[in-house]
Structure 1
């Protein structure tokens, strides 16, 4: 039986379209259609149009910008500035395609210092909306011009203050196909607000105001602080500022400043990750990876760091003409930029506690720079900085490390300490009259141990609670890294080798990574067909459980594979070693041992967090304690 074939409507339509293309002649596109196509790339939604208008206002040298929105910019979008203004005879050109005053040659493009330079934004808006420009330059009369559907109207006189007001109405109103792809007014408003905030963060010296549907919404006064960090704190909010640390570094022609949150403030989502290059908000994998790498040593798991960083470098070292929306850049020396950002953020996260004690404004860090007040410590905290510093090395001198205490291990019944490695934490009584507000001792003096887990100390601000294992782990970890960097990890032989039954993977790791194990301070050798003996340990971990420590290191080596990968992931390996070498819960410490740990924390970089991203200590202020007991009420 024969079955008749039935051609679907879609196949018929595709065939007709193909026939039409094959028979249509090549011809130039109308100018209006060209502008409407360009509008899809340049002003795909109100937020994109707002970004372009803000770029023009900022390029004009404005000190004050006012933004007005109606229905999320769908009905009305207006940007008013007090910049240099546009001469009357150039207003029509401002609406023409590819007309700009910002570049004239290829050399200008390669060194573009303006935010906008393509000369297509206003023309694209005029093709898909109603646009009006009112402007006046100092010493000249004001003028107004309008455009719609790609047609430019006549120039008319207008009374206006110096500056420019650009108003965009009925965006995509006459292009229903494009309008349908826009979201609801609240959603479009949210994107416009985000663009507004980014411009405010990138240009702290400019005052910004936002009006939504006739009501004042956001206002930011001009911030003339040295690095403009107060503006970042104002825009990002109190919750961000409470956990923020200032970043300020300069390496040759590249400058990095901004705010980064402590690792304990990390979130499951990238809620606040703002990057700016030469006052331009960008998405850039090089910069983002540099920041993430700086947190790798203190951030646990898949949590996302929170930050806002402004990077400045000579314009010829960065290509900003990569994307029509100018949201992507390309660096000439991307690796150098990556490393600069990484080290700048590491420097912000790494200071020892003694260098950033909460002693109020005007304190000084160990390298002589002014120490800013901690963001969020009081309303509108001022960020005061000294001159930008060269990045410093973070490794501790080996001599200082070897003079430190022998790390504590698990408490074991009948265990006798090796007389060759005495514990330099003396049994001392707490001096009740000690000055707990000493700037060199921000963690104060120990007063007790709670449940064998926490150290309680008092300082000038109140109570300090320390997780002794987490804190000790960080101290040991940083010393292991310093010794590793100097290839000088000391070794401590065991009086009696510790043997254990080994798996094939562990036996293979000993054979494959003999040099690495030796560099780490381990002496491991086969003591039978399926057993290993630990003959020596790293000196800094001499009191750790030798079998547990050796098996943990062998597991890491078996997972890492090649020595090259081990070098790249050495922090994970040293972190494992530190965890096994740190003091364990339920180890009873004397007051002298507790105070020695507090002093070591104050001298150790990144001591706010353990190797897994958990906090090591918390401050409970006297005001908080008074509130608990209703004192003063």
Structure 2
């Protein structure tokens, strides 16, 4: 068969296969065009989940009549004119492919009126066949109608799902947009009935989060705002006790564009790994801002993905920012954006404590530069001269250097605070012990219940980590070097990242194109499987440019030690011992969850308790 050019209609239909996956893809492209045109209100009318009709109306700048044919021409756009514009593009759309692709697989109508024009005009396209421009009465702005999607491509149409499923995809994308653009009003109707409205205006964070992700998320959300190295990360992350079975509440925006990025998702997962129950997923709404020239948005036809120029820096920035934020979620601290606050108070949440000049991307909202995370000093600090001594001090009886005591050391009883007049600490004062498992305490709001084993486990775990961080990762030389067969890519990584591996306790040299010689391993993990650990480390360095495998393996071992050393059920504690444990919880990082992600405490307000007994009715 001879080589010949394809017809324009077929070219557009092929492009539609990349841009238009389902009705939600059409809604995304058309609404993004409306936002790029400066719209402050967008109406979305749907029929049969968008399969029968999608109508998008906006109050944006509009299109002059003579430019309507250009709007449905391939690679015609007002948003870029040069390669420099493409490298620094700030609009949501820029390719000039969406409208011609959509018009080639539907019965399409484009009507518009510029704000300074006396009347509007319309253009009809039927399966790629362009009609004539005709006058049309129209308010300032643009309307796009897409009827009978894929009517002329039956092979694609049969892959569409049920009406409810397709509508669900549209609603999910609109939810994502509402989180990013609270300044735009979105009105949705389905089959002639209003179904959703996102109001525009100065909504507070709790209201916006509540109407999109639910009140539970808003009550559990921790505010993030951190800047440095030309980067800014802000938004909300859910506290660990609010976790999900799936990744259905994970929203990432890069310069205002909703995207999926494996590197950032990996960084978030690492930040949560010490506080989440096994198999659970974190929930978050995060906005990453950086110089547009440092990110390539032109790597995916539907613009779902981006490529960072400094992927390793961004991965580390996100990880350390969230890790430090989660470390500050101590027991007894209210952090949800929906928590009650007095008028004029700043929103509750986490911000870095270090002060410095704002970054070039700082918008004046009080974001601060990035400071590398270091373990916070514990009020009940340990001597870290020797690991064995630290472990014995935590879990051994006095004078027992082996640390193999059957009875774990409890918090110091002299830490118990007297029940004097004045401000009551967040976890209050102990009043009793329930079934040898729970501590009951009274605070200013009501009743606090603490799982004493889970709480003591977290306290011991954090102390062990602090002690070990003071000592550092020691390497243990192998008597006989280990020869490890790897792929050529992993061998290249090992050679390139040799200094990183040394910092992790591995001394590795390349002995062949696909062979490594391992001469030392982390001392604490010498009895584990160093070969499997090194393979995982190399895979992380190749995939994400960073690794936490060694630290995670170390933490798993320390977690086990803390679990065995924590106070057991049915151990009777004195009131001073219980109060000492409460004060330690208030001072310990991540003390709201045990090492396995389970909550360590719960609070019941006096109002809740009154409702149990129908008081005041």
- Tell me the TM-score normalized by structure 2: 0.78
Indicate yes or no: 2:468 matched with 1:484: yes
Residue 488 and residue 279 in structure 1: after superposition, are their counterparts in 2 closer, same or farther (change >3 A)? closer
Indicate yes or no: 2:122 matched with 1:144: yes
Residue 603 and residue 273 in structure 1: after superposition, are their counterparts in 2 closer, same or farther (change >3 A)? same
Residue 398 and residue 211 in structure 1: after superposition, are their counterparts in 2 closer, same or farther (change >3 A)? closer
- Which one of 96, 104, 114 corresponds to residue 127 of structure 1? 104
- Which one of 580, 589, 612 corresponds to residue 596 of structure 1? 580
Residue aligning to 1:169: 147
Residue aligning to 1:15: none
Comparing 173-182 with 614-623, greater Cα deviation is found at: 173-182
Residue aligning to 1:13: none
| Contact 2:18–2:301 (Cα < 8 Å) also in 1 | yes
Indicate yes or no: 2:318 matched with 1:341: yes
- Write out aligned runs for 1:220-369 (5 A): 220-224=198-202, 230-353=207-330, 356-357=333-334, 360-361=340-341
What is the number of equivalent residue pairs in this alignment? 526
- Tell me the TM-score normalized by structure 1: 0.76
Comparing 165-174 with 324-333, greater Cα deviation is found at: 165-174
- Write out aligned runs for 1:210-229 (5 A): 210-224=188-202
Secondary structure of the corresponding residue to residue 167 of structure 1: strand
Tell me how far 1:79 sits from its aligned partner. 1.1
Secondary structure of the corresponding residue to residue 168 of structure 1: strand
- What is the aligned-residue RMSD (CA, Å)? 3.3
Tell me how far 1:560 sits from its aligned partner. 4.4
| Contact 2:410–2:577 (Cα < 8 Å) also in 1 | no
- Which one of 398, 406, 414 corresponds to residue 426 of structure 1? 414
Structure 2 CA distance for aligned equivalents of residues 580 and 434 of structure 1: 38
Indicate yes or no: 2:390 matched with 1:402: no
Secondary structure of the corresponding residue to residue 389 of structure 1: coil
Structure 1 CA distance for aligned equivalents of residues 112 and 290 of structure 2: 33
Residue aligning to 2:180: 202
Residue 609 and residue 388 in structure 1: after superposition, are their counterparts in 2 closer, same or farther (change >3 A)? same
Secondary structure of the corresponding residue to residue 146 of structure 1: strand
- Which one of 540, 553, 562 corresponds to residue 578 of structure 1? 562
Comparing 619-628 with 93-102, greater Cα deviation is found at: 619-628
Secondary structure of the corresponding residue to residue 449 of structure 2: strand
- Write out aligned runs for 1:54-69 (5 A): 54-69=31-46
Tell me how far 1:225 sits from its aligned partner. 5.7
Could you report, residue by residue, the CA deviation over 1:257-276 in whole angstroms, capped at 9, with x for unpaired residues?
A: 22222222223322322222
Tell me how far 1:151 sits from its aligned partner. 2.1
Tell me how far 1:485 sits from its aligned partner. 2.0
Structure 1 CA distance for aligned equivalents of residues 300 and 597 of structure 2: 37
Could you report, residue by residue, the CA deviation over 1:136-191 in whole angstroms, capped at 9, with x for unpaired residues?
A: 22212322222112122222222222221111111111222221121122221111
Residue 69 and residue 209 in structure 1: after superposition, are their counterparts in 2 closer, same or farther (change >3 A)? same
Could you report, residue by residue, the CA deviation over 1:332-353 in whole angstroms, capped at 9, with x for unpaired residues?
A: 0111111121122223322154
**Structure 1 gaps, min length 5:** 1-23, 374-384, 490-508, 514-552
Residue aligning to 1:111: 88
Residue aligning to 2:435: 451
Residue 632 and residue 274 in structure 1: after superposition, are their counterparts in 2 closer, same or farther (change >3 A)? same
Residue 450 and residue 429 in structure 1: after superposition, are their counterparts in 2 closer, same or farther (change >3 A)? farther
- Which one of 168, 179, 191 corresponds to residue 157 of structure 2? 179
| Contact 1:62–1:206 (Cα < 8 Å) also in 2 | yes
Tell me how far 1:627 sits from its aligned partner. 1.6
Secondary structure of the corresponding residue to residue 154 of structure 1: strand
Residue aligning to 1:92: 69
Structure 2 CA distance for aligned equivalents of residues 445 and 589 of structure 1: 14
Structure 2 CA distance for aligned equivalents of residues 357 and 113 of structure 1: 37
Structure 2 CA distance for aligned equivalents of residues 422 and 165 of structure 1: 69
| Contact 2:411–2:580 (Cα < 8 Å) also in 1 | no
Could you report, residue by residue, the CA deviation over 1:211-242 in whole angstroms, capped at 9, with x for unpaired residues?
A: 1111111111125468x674234211123333
| Contact 1:232–1:258 (Cα < 8 Å) also in 2 | no
Tell me how far 1:42 sits from its aligned partner. 1.1
Residue 428 and residue 145 in structure 1: after superposition, are their counterparts in 2 closer, same or farther (change >3 A)? closer
Choose 1 or 2 for highest CA Rg: 1
Structure 1 CA distance for aligned equivalents of residues 526 and 441 of structure 2: 39
Could you report, residue by residue, the CA deviation over 1:487-526 in whole angstroms, capped at 9, with x for unpaired residues?
A: 289xxxxxxxxxxxxxxxxxxx99969xxxxxxxxxxxxx
Structure 2 CA distance for aligned equivalents of residues 567 and 347 of structure 1: 16
| Contact 1:409–1:583 (Cα < 8 Å) also in 2 | no
| Contact 2:105–2:127 (Cα < 8 Å) also in 1 | yes
